Amino acid sequence: MLTMKDLSKVYRTHLVETHALREFSIHVDEGEFVAVTGPSGSGKTTFMNIAGLLEEHTGGSYQLDGIEVSGLSDSQRSKIRNEKLGFIFQGFNLIPDLNLFDNVDVPLRYRGFSSRERKQRIEKALEQVGLASRRRHYPAELSGGQQQRVAIARALAGDPRILLADEPTGNLDSAMARSVMEILEGINADGTTIIMVTHDPELAARARRNVHIIDGQVTDLTSTFANTEVGVEAELGATA
Amino acid sequence: MTRYYLWLALRSLKGSPWLSGLMVLAIALGIGAFMTCYAIFHAMAGNPIPHKSDQLYSVRLDTWSPDEPYMEPDLPPDQLTYRDARYLAEAGKARYQTAMFRVGMAVQPDNPDVKPMFSVGRMTYSDFFPMFEPRFLYGGPWSREQDGDHSPVVVLSRELNDKVFGGENSVGRKLTLDASDYTVVGVLDTFNPVPRYYDVINGSAFGDEDEFYLPFTLNDQLQKRSIGNNSCWKAPPENSYQGYLDSECVWLGFWVQLDSDADRRAYKDFLDNYVREQKKLGRFERPLNNHLDDVMSWLKVQRVVADDAHIQLGLSFAFLIVCLLNTVGLMLAKFLRRSGEVGVRRALGASRVQIFLQYLAESGLLGVGGALAGLGLAVFGLAVVRKISPDIEVLTHLDTGLLLFALAVSVAASLLAGLYPAWRACRIAPAAQLKSQ
């Protein structure tokens, strides 16, 4: 589903060169729930941005659902993002002047679905997160947990192959965090691959596989997956 | 997606009414000022008879003083002497030709309820009508035979016919001008080409229309002088009307219709030969310098579009640019304030092109708003010009073409102003925005 091999990401300014990821290799199989942990500045977000085609990598190769994404044009990357990926952010990132229905509608508009199909998908996604009755409400009228559920509905509406969640519970209290986590587990149980960055060891433990990133490299791999043959290979290029 | 972009644009504009209003106002002020000046310029510079402007020629012959040209650089006079105009008109070498001048006469209506009035008309040949093609409400022009017969006939303007005959079909009725009776043979519909290309010399390019037309040949008895320009470089041979007619004073406009290049060359040869013959008689002491100018060349030669109009148009355009630059700044601020939304949309699958088009649609919508408000200001501006300068009232109208032009200019200008802000918006790096939200 997702394979990065010897991937590197270097940020350059006229004064300094920063290696955010180096010789970074990971493979994620379809249906996995991978928790990515690591200290601040370790490269977790860079990994997620590259995985989500929001940034381009500097070196190495990256295959997403069988497509080598290196060198793709902006419109090709946008199309893949729209069709294969779903995003959940720590800050929810809902558009404040659109109601819930129109927020969930955003990725579907770029997908080019008909009005009828968009409506069906939006209603189904909002029902899935328990907010169908509030579809005409605006984000500011919802609690943090509800906003994150809308973000999940928005991510799910297009039936993505992979859900990328960057600290999805970081802004939520523990009860809301648990509720969001339960929804994510349900989504994963339905077959959607999830990669989730988290600082919370308790949430990480609930994932089926843990990947630890430090200094831009995968330094630790703790699989809670019982059958390691099924899915997981995360390799540390430099230290393997 | 266009509908979606427009829907988003409308929401965005409604979401920040003050900022949007400010941008619309900036565009409107620029468009209003520009369109006010452009409407006047357009009327001045337009082609008044597009279907045959290249077949109608003003004739100029250099009868001026041997000591100095009429105007630098070596230009002949703008009008002809009576002798030359009469000869050329009656030589009949062109398909149509006419000499003409403006006269003022007293109109004495038969109807006692209508007071006598002073009226300005034109003495010309019958060819005037097929050449310049005024539309007749009633009747038609007089004939070439009536030119030759010195027939006392008259063609009225719609306005004079309304005043004297209450707008009725007056063909066949008598009109008294300066105590002489003339038979009405035709009544024109409103005929006031802008500019009045066939008579721009006498300061009447944008003035009121002529109220009546009389056969030029009647002047043999009437002995009228032009109420327009009269230029002489030497005194008439004798102090009488005949002396004036025989003089080298120029006071008559002269036009011909030449349908092809061959006709034009032949007519030029005819003019040159005529002047050579006149030289043998001691006239035309300057080198051969005959000119045939078609309508648009003539308007250019006569500087019908004043330098002031060019300057005003330039200044109003500069003002429009300043307004647009302000709009660019406001749009940039507005669009970049929504960087977070751009980041989200990019993450959810919008390409740079789609983001660019979304913001360009918003610019276009601002342009439509600016155009509508700007047109309102232009209408107001033209009304002010009309109030201040009633003599150029004819130049102060916005027709459908100008309205569409204003709309197109405004939307194009707004799209242009929106290009850079939209480009900046679409270049926003989504990753940075998503984390900072």
pLDDT in tens, chain B (437 residues): 889 999 999 998 888 899 999 999 999 999 888 888 888 888 777 778 888 989 999 999 999 988 888 888 888 999 999 999 999 999 999 999 999 999 999 999 988 888 999 999 999 999 999 999 999 999 999 999 999 999 999 999 999 999 999 999 999 999 999 989 999 999 999 888 878 888 887 666 677 789 999 999 999 999 998 888 888 998 888 888 899 999 999 999 999 999 999 999 999 999 999 999 999 988 999 999 999 999 888 888 888 776 777 888 899 899 988 998 898 899 888 888 888 888 899 999 999 999 999 999 998 888 888 888 988 888 888 888 878 776 666 667 777 887 888 788 888 888 888 888 889 888 888 877 776 54
Nearest to B49 by CA among B131, B165, B166, B111: B131
Radius of gyration (C-alpha) of chain A in whole angstroms: 18
Chain A environment of B3 (Cβ under 8 Å): none
Q: Cα separation of B279 and B62, whole Å?
A: 11
What local confidence, expressed as pLDDT, does residue A86 receive? Answer: 92
Q: Determine whether the interchain pair A81/B348 forms a contact, defined as Cβ–Cβ distance below 8 Å.
A: yes
Interface probe with B: pick from A40, A57, A85, A93, most Cβ of B within 10 Å = A93
- Supply B141's token pair: 């022009």
Residue A190 in this model has a pLDDT that exceeds 50: yes
B256 touches B85 (CB < 8 A): no
Rounded average pLDDT over A142-151: 90
What local confidence, expressed as pLDDT, does residue A240 receive? Answer: 30
| Token pair 């250019």: residue | B300
Q: In this predicted model, what pLDDT tens digit does every residue of A71-118 receive, in sequence order? A: 899 999 999 999 999 999 888 889 998 999 999 999 999 998 999 999
What local confidence, expressed as pLDDT, does residue A237 receive? Answer: 35
Q: Model confidence at A235, in pLDDT bands (50, 70, 90)? A: very low
Q: Cα separation of B392 and B39, whole Å?
A: 12
Q: Model confidence at A222, in pLDDT bands (50, 70, 90)? A: low
Cβ of B307: how many Cβ atoms within 10 Å?
A: 8
Measured CB to CB, residues of chain B less than 8 Å from chain A are: 1, 4, 11-12, 15, 340-341, 343-354, 429-431, 434-435, 437
Q: Cα separation of B105 and B126, whole Å?
A: 20
Chain A environment of B343 (Cβ under 8 Å): 93
Nearest to A150 by CA among A131, A169, A123: A131
A31 touches A225 (CB < 8 A): no
Residue ranges of alpha helices (H) inside B1-100 are 2-15, 17-45, 82-91
Among A residues 143-172, those touching chain B with beta carbons less than 8 Å apart = 154, 158, 166
Q: CA B425, B430, B434, B435 torsion: positive or negative?
A: negative
Who's near B186: CB < 8 A, 6+ residues apart? B136, B138, B139, B140, B141, B142, B155, B156, B171
What local confidence, expressed as pLDDT, does residue A234 receive? Answer: 41
Residue A226 in this model has a pLDDT that exceeds 50: no
Compare A239 and B192 and report the one with higher pLDDT: B192
A32 touches A211 (CB < 8 A): no
In terms of CA atoms, which chain A residue is nearest residue B346?
A78
Q: Model confidence at A236, in pLDDT bands (50, 70, 90)? A: very low
Percentage of residues in chain A having pLDDT higher than 90? 39
Residue ranges of alpha helices (H) inside chain A are 44-51, 74-84, 100-111, 115-128, 144-156, 174-189, 201-206, 228-231
| Token pair 């009755």: residue | A133
**Reported pTM:** 0.67
In terms of CA atoms, which chain A residue is nearest residue B11?
A97
A95 touches A140 (CB < 8 A): no
Nearest to A146 by CA among A172, A166, A108: A172
Chain B environment of A54 (Cβ under 8 Å): 346-347, 430-431, 434
Using CA atoms in the order A82, A86, A91, A94, what is the torsion angle rounded to 10 degrees? 50
What local confidence, expressed as pLDDT, does residue A203 receive? Answer: 85
What local confidence, expressed as pLDDT, does residue B132 receive? Answer: 92
Give kind and range of the element (H or E) at residue B104.
strand B96-107
What local confidence, expressed as pLDDT, does residue B413 receive? Answer: 83
In terms of CA atoms, which chain A residue is nearest residue B436?
A91
Residue A221 in this model has a pLDDT that exceeds 70: no
Interface contacts A/B by beta carbons within 8 Å: 73
